[in-house]
Structure 1
Amino acid sequence: MGSGIAQLAIVAGFDVWLHDSDSDALRRASEGIAEAIRRLVSKNKISQLAGTDALNRLTCTLNLEDLQHADFIIEAIIESEDVKKKLFCDLDKLAKPSAILASNTSSISITRLASSTNRPSQVIGMHFMNPPPVMKLIEIVRGADTSEEVFSKTKALAERFGKIVICSEDYPGFIVNRILMPMINEAFYTLYTGVATKEDIDTGMKLGTNHPMGPLELADFIGLDICLSIMKVLHQGLGDSKYIPCPLLVQYVDAGRLGRKRGIGVYSYKRESAGVNQSKL
């Protein structure tokens, strides 16, 4: 997600520092962005000069301190409240006083993330859909103390990225995942209880409701660990038993069957990727 957001920003004309603590992940991200820009040029989406200029605006760094002069910092790390809070605490200490801190969280309370900083009015949710360069939507989430000025600047940034903005109050799952994840969870229950095969569940939703992907296929694309994490947030935050994660989803995650990124989830992708050398965003 982080590399896709970085790609959007450099194409939109911003200087970007892309940080990761893992040098291999940073290298893969840089290579993936370069390949994506080359595809845009080859398809005449942008000019060769614009592509070169965009890549020149990207700096990759292993040093978090390099973000100290940034005007706007977007966090896109693992979907864990504790890990995100630790990062926001660190960012708060090093970022300049005027900097806005945004989270790409898909379900975690912005108010709670903001509480780990001394600038809660400058913390906001900016939830990109995956993959960010392709999907047209950004979900903006205000925390309890997010200022109107910060909201306006974040909305303007999203629109400069060419995105359509929807706004959510700070409730578990926000808008998209409050609706989407229970549907995916119910698809797992449908498979778990033997109502139908995974293929028929997905085909039913694609052809019967005109969804571009079936819910189980979509879960594999998102990552089953992320789906499980969001269901736990919904269940804990809303307290309704209908948000209890399906035991089959839990079992798949426990087994390391996380979806496309691991080569196996509900479906197997190992044959599909065998022998194919592709850069990964």
Structure 2
Amino acid sequence: MAGSASDTIAVVGAGVMGRNITALALGRGVDVVLVDVSGDVLESARAEIAQLLRHGQFMGAFPASQATGTLTTTLSSGDVADADVVIEAITEDASLKARVMAELSATVPAGVPLITNTSGIPIAELAKSVQRPAELAGVHFMNPSYLIEMVEVVRGPQTGEDAMAAILALLGRLGRKTVVVRDAPGFVTSRLLHPMINEAARIVAAGTASVEDVDQLMHGCLGHPTGPLRTADLIGLDNLADALRLLAERTGNSTFEPCELLTEKVRAGDLGRKTGRGFYNYGEVLS
């Protein structure tokens, strides 16, 4: 298995990140088994993944000569058993991730790497739930995964050489550039980005500057591609709030707790692009 190319991957969770990762793999010619607990979510996912593939092709994100992989959707986690690599991409809930990882670990045969797309839960923590901790690692894909070439790979304390080789081989086949980091709460990207977004929201709440002005300054002065608050809308404000709470709990730093403006928006259901309104108004609900 070490260093081998993957013909089929399983993606567990058909939310925003699961759809993005699936589109990336399909566009690179890798077959995908996409698993979710909701048939309606899977139906919606199929339609959006087709849109993402078209957009990726338009943007030149996929090799022009590459045949698109085959997508299979299923409600049964048992259908991951024949995959070469399994990627967990469910919501950022530590207890739920632990239960899902335990189920997946009991389903796949030895030698199949398990990847978690967690944005900040330590791999060592999730490794307690799996049967073979040496086969578990983190890969933090960014949104949109089919356009952002860099990924953060998190090697847990128990992650083995074979699993790392297979995971890096898969990411190479997907055309991703990788940086391998050590395990820690929030790793690198979330530990830096999420508190910055939280502070940006606090600045807006204090009346120091508008949402637009904060993003314009961060873009024009500091080179942030989209600005922190537009980025927050892309992440999903509910996902961001969950990740900040986890970061606060696991570091003991209460300043990482989501600020009141962020929690207010989550309570109101203004979750960003996926609901049509977050820090910005997008005019309609996006599927």
Please confirm whether the aligned pair reaches a TM-score higher than 0.5, indicating the same fold. Answer: yes
8 Å CA contact retained: 1:220, 1:266 = yes
Q: Aligned pair 1:129/2:142, yes or no?
A: yes
Q: Deviations over 1:216-263 (max 9, x none)?
A: 111111111111112112211111233232121122212222111112
- Equivalence for 2:269: 256
Question: Deviations along 1:104-162, whole A, 9 cap, x unmatched?
Answer: 11111111111111111111101111111111111111122111221122112112111
User: Out of 1, 20, 26, which is 1:10 matched to?
Assistant: 26
Answering whether residue 53 of structure 2 is matched by residue 37 of structure 1, we say yes
Paired residues in the alignment total 270
Find the aligned partners of 1:148 and 1:243 in 2 and give their Cα distance.
34
Q: Is the 8 A contact 1:40 1:46 kept in 2?
A: no
Partner Cα distance (2:180, 2:277) in 1? 34
One-letter amino acid matched to 2:211: K
Question: Are 2:35 and 1:19 aligned?
Answer: yes
1:173-188 aligned at under 5 Å gives the runs 173-188=186-201
More helix per residue: 1 or 2?
1
Cα pair distance change 1:38/1:131, threshold 3 Å: closer
Question: Would the aligned equivalents of 1:223 and 1:261 in 2 still touch at CA under 8 Å?
Answer: yes
Structure 1: 5+ residue runs without aligned partners?
none
- Output the CA distance in 1 between the equivalents of 2:26 and 2:219: 35
Compute the TM-score of the two structures, normalised by the length of structure 2: 0.87
Provide the residue aligned with 2:181 in structure 1: 168
Structure 2 residue runs without a partner (length 5+): 1-16
- CA 1:43–1:173: 2 relative to 1, 3 Å: closer
**Structure with greater Cα Rg:** 1
CA contact (8 A) 1:26 1:60 kept: yes
* Residue in 1 that maps onto 2:232: 219
CA shift for structure 1 position 40? 5.3
Q: Aligned residues: percent identity?
A: 39
* Alignment counterpart, residue 71 of structure 1, candidates 84, 88, 102: 84
Asked if 1:62 is matched to 2:78, the reply is: no
RMSD of aligned Cα (Å)? 2.0
Determine if the alignment matches structure 1 residue 150 to structure 2 residue 163.
yes
Q: CA deviation at 1:42?
A: 6.2
Distance 1:118 1:43, change over 3 A: closer
Please list, as runs of the form range in 1=range in 2, the aligned pairs for 1:226-237 lying within 5 A after superposition.
Answer: 226-237=239-250
Name the structure 2 match of 1:207: 220
| Separation (CA, whole Å) in 2 of partners of 1:200 and 1:172 | 31
